[in-house]
Amino acid sequence: MPLPVISPMDLTGSTVLVTGASSGIGRETAILLSTLNARLVITGRNAERLEQTRSCLSGEGHLAEVFDLSNLEQIPKWVRSVAAKVGPLKALVHAAGEQYMSPIRFVTAKAVDDLFKTNLQSAVMLAQGFCHKTCHTPESSMVFFSSVLGLSGKPAMSVYGASKAGLLGLAQSLAAELAADRIRVNCIAPAYVQTEMLDQIREWPEQFAALEKQHPLGFGTPRDVANAVAFLVAETGRWITGSTLVVDGGYSNR
């Protein structure tokens, strides 16, 4: 009798921490990973929205943790406390982030500090917590959410692009540093995806239409990006580290 075929995407027995899981791509990523049989720890700042995400997850045993990632010094301790509750983590997916649009002449020092704290510095401290020997499984990975704007410039997005470009460098260096511990580190670089953030641009029809034309395959969906995350987290990504997977509907190839 033939043995059952186990999908390399199956995450049975794996626990995955997803930040920014209260909405958008982070929420969709958590939902998808749960259908692949992962146990999820989801985090965000809004308890009600986190519970909405948890109600959408398949399976049982998922944990919702309200935490503000702007508390940088507390992040490593918090990651260790999560691992103490649920056991070592198979993966950490850092989907939390903020977008900031402003011509350089109007940028303030506080805006730069706040954005880098949210998009880049939090990733550094999450990695510090995750690499603690009690926090990860023997074969584990981290996925950071960068952006195509970290790879190619766009007017009025210089500060945002810089924060996302920083994640690319962080992932490459961490991949080299943590390979001996069998921790893989990669980035996802999406273009514009159909989320609440994109809905705000719809208020300016001409700008929205021009932006859509820059995506040869049209705007993506949160599931398009979540599929890429699942690929990197699962066994399918076991030989990939220090890489950036561009998921942009052709935006960077136009």
What is d(CA 233, CA 112) in angstroms, rounded to the nearest whole number? 31
What is d(CA 137, CA 184) in angstroms, rounded to the nearest whole number? 11
What amino acid occupies position 240?
Answer: I
> What residues pair up with 247 in beta bridges, in sequence order?
190
User: What torsion do the CA atoms of 50, 51, 55, 56 make, to the nearest 10 degrees?
Assistant: -20
Cβ count near 215 (within 10 Å): 17
Q: Which of 100, 160, 192, 251 is catalytic?
A: 160
Q: What angle do CA 98, 142, 180 make, to 5 degrees?
A: 145
Pick the closest to residue 128 from 173, 181, 76 (CA basis). Answer: 76
Whether 251 is catalytic is no
**What is the 3-state secondary structure of 209-233?**
HHHHHCCCCCCECHHHHHHHHHHHH
Joined together, the tokens standing for residue 123 give: 């990733």
> Exposed e or buried b for every residue in 18-39, given b needs 16+ CB within 10 A?
bbbbbbbbbbbbbbbbbebebb
- State the catalytic residues: 160
